[in-house]
Amino acid sequence: MRVTIRLFARLRDIAGAADLVRDVPEGATVETAWQALATEFPAMAPHRASLSAAVNAEYARFTLALSERDEVVFLPPVSGG
């Protein structure tokens, strides 16, 4: 199934893109999508411990199962204000 991955801050710099459209297997979770991304962009891998995630503009756990056309976002540590 096809999902959109949106990237911000450091992760966007590493990928050189704000949005990526990728196929993930049926039954994939947020973690599955992350693993595929970190394989494609190895420089992202060390950031896993400090990331949180969102799916379709709601905060999400990495164990959440994905659906076709979901928007998955990996959030580096935030620094608003």
For residue 62, give the H/E element and its range: none
**Site stretch for other proteins (CB under 8 A), options 20-28, 34-42, 49-57, 62-70:** 49-57
Total residues contacting other proteins (rule CB under 8 A)?
21
Task: Closer to other proteins by CB, 27 or 30: give it.
Answer: 30
- Choice from 1, 4, 10, 15 touching other proteins (CB under 8 A): 10
Q: Kindly report the backbone phi and psi dihedral angles of residue 76, in degrees, each rounded to the nearest multiple of 5, phi listed first.
A: -65, 165
**Residue closest to 62 by CA, chosen among 71, 50, 52, 70:** 52
Cα separations (Å) of 64 from 16, 36, 43?
A: 26, 16, 24
Task: Closer to other proteins by CB, 13 or 40: give it.
Answer: 13
Nearest approach in angstroms of CB 28 to other proteins is 21
